[in-house]
Amino acid sequence: MREPEVILTLIEVAATLAFALSGFIEAARRRMDIVGITAVACTAAFGGGTLRDVLLDQRPFFWVEHSGYLWLILGLCMVGLPLLRASHIDFTERAMRVPDALGLGLFGAAGTSQALALGQPLIVAALTGVITGVFGGVLRDVLCNEVPAIFTDHRPYAVCAFTGAWVFIGLDHVQAPEGLALTACIVTTAGLRLLALARDWRVPGWRG
């Protein structure tokens, strides 16, 4: 009983840090000040999970219950900004791929799992996983005044999370151990995402 909870918590920590980094990088590339960088990092990290909790009517929010997350991300932004500024690292789109794919898989698994545990319909559980995985990034792009990248770049992203969510639902349906279902969901989602980027797979659009 408690082991899945521990796994879910670890998933949340790792995914939160990966998404915060993606927000940090995006805001830093847009030359925001430290307030904007911190706000976008927190939004990217907590946006998906918060919307999930609003949709599932779960309180307190996980970043309220575990307020250490807030200290961690605030602290990392304060410490990280001068360190990274001094290090002359340039963050490229490529540098964001791996943490982003892992965060997508991790958040998608957590969202799908929680929605199923609350007895939601399967399609709602799958979309809760997708929303948990992608909504932080959507909000991040809206705050940066861009069309959300996942809507226009013709690269599979939400589709990977949707596929991973159904892998989770299928394994859950045949009563596989939760650890297996979570792992399979994360590996499927992150693997599909990285494979899609490596092979340049395209999502169909409206007249090209």
Q: Please report, as ranges, the residues that interact with a copy of itself according to CB under 8 A.
A: 27-37, 39-40, 54-55, 57, 59, 61, 64, 67, 70-71, 74, 81-82, 85, 120-121, 123-124, 127, 138, 142-148, 150-154, 157-159, 203-208
Give the DSSP H or E segment for 170.
helix 158-173
Nearer to a copy of itself, 61 or 97 (CB): 61
User: Least Å distance between CB 98 and a copy of itself?
Assistant: 21
Inter-CA distances, 3 with 46, 141, 153, 166, 178, Å:
24, 35, 38, 22, 9
Distances (CA, A) of 125 to 9, 111, 167: 19, 7, 12
Query: Taking the CA of residue 29 as centre, how many other CA atoms within 13 Å lie in the half-sphere pointing to its CB?
Result: 14
Angle at 196 between CA 190 and CA 202, to 5 degrees: 135
* Residue 27 or 102 with smaller CB distance to a copy of itself: 27
Decide if 19 contacts 107 (C-beta within 8 A).
Answer: yes
Name the minimum Å distance from CB 145 to a copy of itself: 4
CB of 143 to a copy of itself, least distance (A): 6
DSSP one-letter code for 157: S
Minimum separation from the CB atom of position 108 to a copy of itself (A) = 14
Asked if 53 and 62 count as a contact pair (C-beta separation under 8 A), the reply is yes
Return the number of the residue (51 or 190) whose C-beta is nearest a copy of itself. 51
For a copy of itself, the closer of residues 35 and 180 by Cβ is: 35
Q: How far is the CB of 10 from a copy of itself (least distance, A)?
A: 21
Nearer to a copy of itself, 5 or 146 (CB): 146
Residues 135 and 161: beta-carbon distance below 8 Å: no
